[in-house]
């Protein structure tokens, strides 16, 4: 298979779809890989390393999109990238379609096969291709929170861990999945007073077993969210209903009653955000203030630590990329229910139910869509 890896074009996005080690593995399986020139330069993966791994260096993205059977990326295709996709071509990347009607429309129009990292599943609980970036973003959320609590950033001047004789800051983490546990671990590591809310009692039990009394676990209700948000210096939004738009758990009215200079980090912003006052921001301008509360809503947080993130992402995606390339996309999808759960759009059909529901499209199951498209091709 001919695989193409374009340079990412989102604001301050320095990750790249494959490390040189990932390229080498695909090449050793008999595939060809094109990498856009300087696509990994900013994070220490230069053209020479990609060439040594067996890649062809291509100077412009349009050539990669024109020639590749499968595009491997990091971030959702931007509008001009969507317009370069075509029927019988596969794109394997984060999509986050539920809150993004324009991208959905363009992907449907392209006719391409669009597999979203964030909805691929595994035998255990969890989302194996979202997890590595959630680990990164969860850890970063506390760094971002600590930084923005500083007065010069608009924060209320609380040090997360306090000092002897001075109480620590109160951190509220809403959602105790991968982002949440990583945020909680970092915040506790810095000595903060951490409360975590989740709707899954099983998950709260697990977290209690891991952290004991150091972490306060509370069942997530409107009442609990309100009580703890009013006391918090830092709130981390870390909920997910897979594939769906994030539920708005903190209302504008509640924000207006929070402490002035509190910080809210909405990690769930890529699914639309879980605070009513959230709107996506960039690494260039990561924060804004509503009613005295600092909001940090960067939709590609791991892009800020792009070298670590790229290695973590390729570690997770490579086995799936190899399966798609070795077997061919249709067979790989038909063979593996978990990979098939990643299929969001195929040949002009929406194949992920939560996305269809969120955006008002008809839902066609992935198996039906694959069969229909195959029939059309042979007709």
Residues annotated within the binding site for substrate are 15, 75
Q: Which is nearer to ligand NAI, 179 or 264 (CB)?
A: 179
Query: In the window 253-292, what residues touch ligand PYR (CB under 6 A)?
Result: 270
Residue selected from 3, 58, 133, 263 as contacting ligand PYR according to rule CB under 6 A: 133
Under rule CB under 6 A, residue 199 binds ligand NAI: yes
* Structure-derived torsion over alpha carbons of residues 266, 267, 272, 276, reported in degrees to the nearest 10: -20
Under rule CB under 6 A, residue 14 binds ligand PYR: no
Task: Based on the residue annotation, tell me whether 223 is a catalytic residue of this protein.
Answer: no
Q: Which is nearer to ligand PYR, 117 or 361 (CB)?
A: 117
Query: In the window 245-304, what residues touch Mg ion (CB under 5 A)?
Result: 270, 299-300
Residue selected from 176, 261, 286, 342 as contacting ligand NAI according to rule CB under 6 A: 176
Q: Which is nearer to ligand NAI, 185 or 203 (CB)?
A: 203
Q: Which is nearer to ligand PYR, 307 or 372 (CB)?
A: 307
Residue number closest to ligand NAI, CB atom: 177
Task: Based on the residue annotation, tell me whether 270 is a catalytic residue of this protein.
Answer: yes
Contacts of 332 (CB under 8 A, 6+ apart): 323, 324, 326, 339
Q: Which is nearer to Mg ion, 43 or 116 (CB)?
A: 116
Catalytically annotated residue among 193, 233, 266, 270: 270
Under rule CB under 6 A, residue 233 binds ligand PYR: no
Under rule CB under 6 A, residue 137 binds ligand NAI: yes
Which residues make up each annotated binding site?
15, 75, 134, 198, 203, 220, 239-240, 267-270, 279, 298-301
Residue given tokens 């975590």 in the structure block: 196
Residue selected from 3, 194, 267, 373 as contacting ligand NAI according to rule CB under 6 A: 267
Binding mask 68-97 for ligand PYR (x = CB under 6 A): -------x------------------x-x-
The least CB distance from residue 130 to ligand PYR, in Å, is 6
Where do contacts with ligand PYR occur on this chain (CB under 6 A)?
75, 94, 96, 130, 133, 270, 300, 302
Instruction: List, by residue number, the catalytic residues.
Output: 96, 270
Site of interaction with Mg ion (CB under 5 A): 270, 299-300
């Amino acid at each position: 298979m001919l695989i193409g890896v374009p340079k990412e074009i989102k604001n301050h996005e320095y990750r790249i779809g494959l490390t040189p080690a990932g390229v080498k593995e695909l090449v050793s399986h008999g595939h060809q890989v094109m990498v856009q020139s300087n696509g990994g330069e900013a994070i220490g993966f230069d053209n020479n390393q990609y060439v040594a791994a067996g890649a062809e260096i291509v100077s412009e993205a349009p050539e990669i999109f024109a020639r590749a059977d499968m595009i491997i990326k990091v971030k959702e295709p931007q509008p001009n990238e969507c317009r370069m996709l075509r029927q019988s071509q596969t794109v394997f990347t984060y999509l986050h379609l539920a809150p993004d009607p324009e991208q959905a429309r363009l992907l449907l129009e392209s006719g391409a096969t669009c597999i979203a990292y964030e909805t691929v599943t595994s035998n255990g609980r969890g989302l194996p291709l979202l997890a590595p970036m959630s680990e990164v973003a969860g850890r970063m959320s506390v760094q971002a929170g600590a930084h923005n609590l500083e007065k010069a950033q608009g924060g209320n001047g609380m040090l997360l861990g306090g000092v002897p004789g001075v109480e620590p800051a109160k951190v509220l983490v809403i959602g105790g999945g991968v982002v949440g546990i990583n945020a909680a671990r970092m915040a506790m590591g810095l000595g903060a007073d951490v409360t975590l809310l989740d709707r899954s009692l099983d998950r709260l039990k697990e977290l209690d077993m891991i952290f004991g009394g150091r972490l306060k676990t509370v069942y997530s209700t409107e009442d609990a969210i309100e009580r703890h948000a009013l006391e918090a210096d830092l709130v981390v939004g870390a909920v997910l209903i897979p594939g769906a738009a994030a539920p708005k758990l903190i209302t504008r009215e509640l924000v207006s009653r929070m402490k002035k200079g509190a910080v809210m980090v909405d990690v769930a912003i890529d699914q639309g955000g879980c605070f009513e006052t959230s709107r996506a921001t960039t690494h260039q301008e990561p924060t804004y203030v509503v009613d005295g509360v600092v909001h940090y809503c960067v939709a590609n947080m791991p892009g800020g630590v792009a070298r670590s993130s790229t290695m973590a992402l390729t570690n997770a995606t490579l086995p799936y990329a190899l399966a798609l390339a070795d077997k061919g996309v249709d067979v790989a999808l038909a063979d593996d229910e978990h990979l098939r759960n990643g299929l969001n759009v195929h040949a002009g059909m929406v194949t992920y139910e939560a996305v269809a529901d969120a955006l008002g499209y008809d839902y066609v199951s992935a198996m039906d869509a694959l069969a229909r498209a195959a029939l059309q091709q042979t007709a």
